[in-house]
């Protein structure tokens, strides 16, 4: 399966690795259809020989060495607590992911194909039914595919935090850092991520306005313009945006902001779990002043302060 990074910035599209997890029950075999953003996938490989780790949960299959990197391997089916049919072993693969600067492998029963999907066709996962295997809070979005089947986009960060394999660094603001005044707009579909960013910005002195995705972010900007008019850039000091969001992603949102004369002077910082080699360049192309990988407190405080200071000049 060939992975690429050819998406045009601002297109409001994403590419997903479509993978399957099979579940066996008294009614037969159920096929769960899931997706992971290609930007978080390093490669997809056959299952190598794994070294078991004593004392770990059974869904941690072990570790292996991938060209000098030690990769922990999570069996998604076991983590979901489902009964795997024998057929599931025939085409099993490991999807090697990289996000938040962490490398982790996930065993899936089949890696099907790459799908290109518009974020406008992805709905927030307000509820997830029919899987019987996964907590809806671990799904970041849903979209229809052929035959009216539903593909669930897995929230890997939430899964990995639950497994204790990654914890965001939410340390205190450096005491030497100056305080700021004014508003900050934060866009993120994850309420947990929004709270982390909001708390950090409030420590810096900002009053925070929250939005759940790019469309909501544009609506919040229009509301602020109604309040402040052409003085909005004097009030709204910075926008901090996630990249992956249903309905409208962060890059498409930024393209809209930078193309609007009312808002194009307001600096944008992307704050994303995507830590591949292409995303920082995409962020700049979309109009961002900085690209941060979630969540390392000292880098966050330093970059936000730098961008706001430079914007004052």
Across the range 295-302, mean pLDDT stands at 92
End-to-end Cα, the chain, rounded Å? 48
Kindly list the domain boundaries of the chain, sorted by start residue. Answer: 13-163, 183-312
> In this structure, what are the phi and psi dihedrals at residue 15, rounded to the nearest 5 degrees?
-110, 135
Scan for tokens 């090697």, then name that residue.
96
For residue 209, what are the CA distances in angstroms to 4, 226, 231, 296?
A: 35, 15, 17, 21
Pairing of strands 236-241, 268-272: parallel
| Residue 75 CA, distance from chain mean position | 20
Judged against a pLDDT cut of 70, whether residue 143 lies above it is answered with yes
258: buried, middle or exposed (CB in 10 Å: 19+, 13-18, 0-12)? middle
* Sign of CA pseudo-dihedral 56, 60, 63, 66: negative
Q: Which runs of E-coded beta strand occur in 87-199?
A: 93-99, 102-108, 110-118, 139-144, 150-154, 183-187
Average pLDDT of 40-69?
93
DSSP-derived secondary structure letter, 1: -
Number of continuous H segments (helices) and E segments (strands) in the chain:
8, 15
Q: Are strands 150-154 and 139-144 parallel, antiparallel or unpaired?
A: antiparallel
- The dotted CATH code for 13-163 is 2.40.50.180
What average pLDDT does the segment 36-48 reach? 94
Q: If pLDDT is split at 50, 70 and 90, which confidence band does 170 have?
A: confident
Cα 4 from Cα 7, distance rounded (Å):
8
pLDDT number for residue 130: 44
Minimal CA–CA distance to 80: which of 14, 23, 148? 23
pLDDT, one tens digit per residue, over 224-263 is: 999 999 999 999 999 999 999 989 999 999 999 999 999 9
**CATH node for 183-312:** 3.40.50.2300
pLDDT at position 251: 95
Short-list 166, 173, 164, 207, CA closest to 305: 173
Q: What percent of the chain has pLDDT over 70?
A: 93
**DSSP structural state of residue 47:** -
């Amino acid at each position: 399966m060939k992975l690429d990074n050819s998406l045009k910035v601002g297109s409001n599209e994403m590419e997903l690795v479509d993978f399957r997890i099979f579940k066996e029950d008294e009614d037969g075999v159920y096929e769960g259809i899931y997706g992971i953003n290609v930007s978080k996938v390093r490669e997809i490989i056959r299952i190598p020989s794994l070294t078991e780790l004593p004392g770990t949960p059974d869904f941690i299959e072990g570790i292996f060495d991938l060209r000098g990197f030690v990769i922990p391997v999570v069996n998604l089916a076991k983590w979901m607590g489902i009964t795997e049919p024998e057929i599931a072993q025939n085409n099993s693969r490991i999807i090697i992911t990289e996000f938040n600067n962490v490398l982790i492998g996930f065993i899936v029963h089949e890696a099907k194909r790459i799908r290109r999907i518009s974020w406008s066709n992805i709905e927030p996962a307000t509820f997830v039914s029919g899987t019987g295997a996964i907590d809806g809070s671990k799904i970041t979005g849903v979209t229809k595919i052929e035959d009216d089947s539903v593909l669930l986009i897995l929230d890997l960060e939430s899964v990995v935090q639950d497994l204790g394999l990654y914890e965001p660094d939410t340390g205190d603001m450096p005491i030497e850092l100056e305080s700021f005044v004014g508003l900050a707009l934060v866009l993120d579909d994850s309420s947990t991520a929004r709270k982390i960013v909001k708390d950090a910005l409030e420590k810096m002195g900002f009053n925070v306005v929250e939005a759940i995705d790019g469309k909501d972010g544009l609506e919040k900007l229009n509301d602020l313009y109604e309040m402040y008019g052409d003085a909005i850039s004097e009030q709204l000091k910075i926008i901090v945006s996630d990249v992956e969001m249903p309905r409208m992603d962060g890059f498409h949102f930024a393209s809209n902001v930078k193309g609007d004369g009312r808002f194009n002077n307001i600096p944008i910082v992307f704050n994303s779990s995507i830590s591949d080699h292409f995303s920082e360049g995409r962020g700049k192309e979309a109009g961002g002043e900085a690209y941060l990988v979630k969540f390392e407190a000292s880098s966050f405080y330093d970059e936000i302060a730098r961008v706001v200071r430079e914007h004052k000049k």
